[in-house]
């Protein structure tokens, strides 16, 4: 699969391929896993046959995942699909039963110190010391990193727009502010790879817009951002590519534009006489499903419908004396596509 990505190390643009509590991950957190042969560093995340089982439950089932550098990548699936387990395995917080992996070209666990020094992560809900201020919490985290991390605290707080509340106790922070503080905790390490679990939880619409812009700006710098979310509309607005996981298996992955390219197209028509308009179009060879809605029609067309077909719809209606007020093609959303491809429904997490 392909899509545009930005390589932070070289500054070049390449094609994008794919085949909590705030966590400051250090080498001592990592559970030993099989070593990955030397990587050329082309990928931010590379896994081969990664597997994890809890008793009879297969949480991660032979996952092959290639996430290129410099992309915003969404990881989606129903509850219990294995998303959080995979994230924990990637961070070395849970032992893999089989398979190999590398982060930013470094084999884990062989070179985990170097890899994790360049990773920032939020797993589950961000958790901080409530009796301390936001700034003090980041100072504690910075103490476990390189000396330069302390000097990035104010810039990180400013970037997530909570610098003016930096000296308030975290116990006074809203959920959205704690989410922002979690991202700031990632940024003090100047990471090349950020892994964010539900980063938009607790944010109001303006906050979501700001978070989306921030993620896109991080990607523009050449960083890689991997996020899980149940807010599919926000994922579609934010990410270049996604993977859908279910029962531990990746069942679809690719650039969003390519995944949606094979879905149907809905033509929304507002007109003067919907019932008569439907009769007129039913007499053509459009091969479309036509439904009457309030004030108009919803015409479901094949994904490869050309502009000529849309023009023919307009011609038939106008020639038949129907006043057309609006004629708008609407591509399927990521949410509708997601519901089609997941094998069971549920609130994705």
- pLDDT single digits (tens) 233-264: 889 999 999 998 888 888 888 899 888 887 78
Closest to 245 (Cα-Cα) out of 33, 89, 21: 89
Tokens for 42, please give them. 């082309």
Q: What is the pTM of this model?
A: 0.76
pLDDT digits (tens, 9 = 90+) for 75-115: 988 777 788 889 899 988 899 999 999 999 998 878 888 89
Domain termination site, one of 244, 260, 276: 260
CB-CB contact of 22 with 70 (8 Å): no
Residue 98 domain-assigned (yes or no): yes
Tell me what pLDDT residue 32 has: 40
Tell me what pLDDT residue 302 has: 81
H and E: helices and strands count for the chain:
11, 17
Question: What would the DSSP string read from start to end of 146-161?
Answer: -GGGGGGHHHHHHHTT
Tell me what pLDDT residue 7 has: 53
Tell me what pLDDT residue 227 has: 93
Residue 336 domain-assigned (yes or no): no
Looking at the DSSP assignment, which residues form a beta bridge with residue 14? 5
Cβ neighbours for 259, distance < 8 A, ≥ 6 positions apart: 242, 252, 334, 337
Regions in the chain scoring below 50 on pLDDT: 1-4, 12-38, 344-349
Residue 342 domain-assigned (yes or no): no
- What is the spatial distance between Cα 216 and Cα 261, in angstroms, rounded to a whole number? 23
Closest to 214 (Cα-Cα) out of 159, 153, 134: 159
Residue 347 domain-assigned (yes or no): no
**Percent of all residues in the chain with a pLDDT value above 70, rounded to a whole number:** 86
User: Residue 50's domain is classified under what CATH number?
Assistant: 3.40.50.300
Tell me what pLDDT residue 6 has: 53
Structural domain range at position 280: 264-331
- What is the spatial distance between Cα 321 and Cα 312, in angstroms, rounded to a whole number? 14
Tell me what pLDDT residue 241 has: 94
| Number of domains within the chain | 2
- What is the spatial distance between Cα 240 and Cα 238, in angstroms, rounded to a whole number? 7
Tokens for 176, please give them. 């959205």
Count of C-beta atoms within a 10 Å radius of residue 307: 8
Tell me what pLDDT residue 242 has: 93
């Amino acid at each position: 699969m392909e899509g545009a990505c930005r390589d932070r190390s070289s500054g070049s643009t390449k094609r994008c391929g794919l085949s909590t509590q705030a966590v400051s991950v250090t080498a001592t957190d990592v559970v030993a896993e099989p070593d990955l042969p030397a990587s050329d560093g082309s990928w931010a995340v590379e896994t081969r046959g990664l597997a994890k089982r809890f008793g009879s439950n297969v949480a991660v089932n032979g996952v092959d995942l290639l996430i290129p550098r410099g992309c915003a990548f969404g990881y989606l699936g129903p509850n219990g699909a294995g998303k959080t387990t995979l994230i924990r395995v990637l961070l070395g917080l849970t032992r893999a039963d089989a398979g190999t992996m590398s982060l930013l070209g470094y084999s884990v666990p062989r070179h985990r110190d170097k890899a994790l020094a360049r990773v920032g992560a939020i797993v589950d809900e961000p958790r901080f010391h409530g009796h301390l201020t936001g700034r003090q919490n980041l100072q504690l985290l910075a103490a476990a990193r390189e000396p330069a991390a302390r000097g990035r605290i104010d810039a990180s707080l400013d970037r997530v727009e909570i610098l003016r509340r930096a000296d308030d106790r975290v116990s006074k922070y809203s959920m959205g502010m704690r989410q922002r503080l979690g991202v700031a905790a990632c940024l003090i390490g100047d990471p090349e790879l950020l892994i964010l679990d539900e980063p938009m939880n607790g944010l109001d619409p303006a906050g979501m817009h700001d978070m989306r812009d921030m993620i896109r700006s991080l990607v523009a710098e050449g960083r890689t951002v991997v996020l899980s979310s149940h807010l599919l509309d926000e994922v579609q607005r934010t990410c270049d590519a996604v993977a859908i996981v279910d029962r531990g298996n990746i069942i679809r992955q690719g650039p969003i534009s390519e995944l949606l390219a094979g879905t149907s197209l809905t033509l929304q028509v507002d007109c003067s006489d919907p019932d008569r308009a439907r009769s007129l179009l039913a007499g053509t060879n459009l091969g479309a499903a036509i439904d009457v809605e309030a004030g108009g029609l919803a015409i479901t067309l094949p994904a490869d419908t050309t502009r000529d077909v849309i023009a023919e719809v307009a011609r038939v209606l106008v020639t038949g004396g129907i006043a057309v007020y609006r004629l708008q093609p609407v591509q399927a959303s990521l949410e509708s596509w997601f519901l089609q491809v997941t094998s069971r429904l549920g609130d994705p997490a």
